[in-house]
Amino acid sequence: LWMTFLLQTIVKFIAEEREKKKVRDIFSQYVAPAVVNELLAHPDKIELGGVMKEVTIFFSDIRSFTTFSEGHTPKEVVELLNEYLDAMTQVIFEFGGTLDKYVGDEIMAIFGAPLPMDDHPKVAVACAIAQMKKLRELQSKWKAEGKTVLDICMGLNTGSVVVGNIGSTMHKDYTVIGDAVNLAARIEAMTRKYSDENHITHLMISEYTYALVKDHFDCRYVDDIAVKGKTITTKLYEVLVD
Q: What is the pTM of this model?
A: 0.84
d(CA 173, CA 171): 7
Residue 13's contacts (CB-CB under 8 Å, 6 or more residues apart) are none
Task: State pLDDT tens for residues 154-204.
Answer: 999 999 999 887 777 666 677 899 999 999 999 999 999 999 888 999 999
Tens of pLDDT, residue by residue over 196-227, are 888 999 999 999 999 999 999 999 999 998 87
Q: Which residues contact 62 (CB under 8 A, 6 or more apart)?
A: 68, 84, 105, 150, 151, 152
Strand 106-111, strand 152-167: pairing: unpaired
Q: Over the stretch 52-78, which tens digit does the pLDDT of each residue have?
A: 999 999 999 999 898 999 889 999 999
Give Cα separations from 235 to 109, 160, 208, 238 (angstroms). Answer: 22, 18, 9, 10
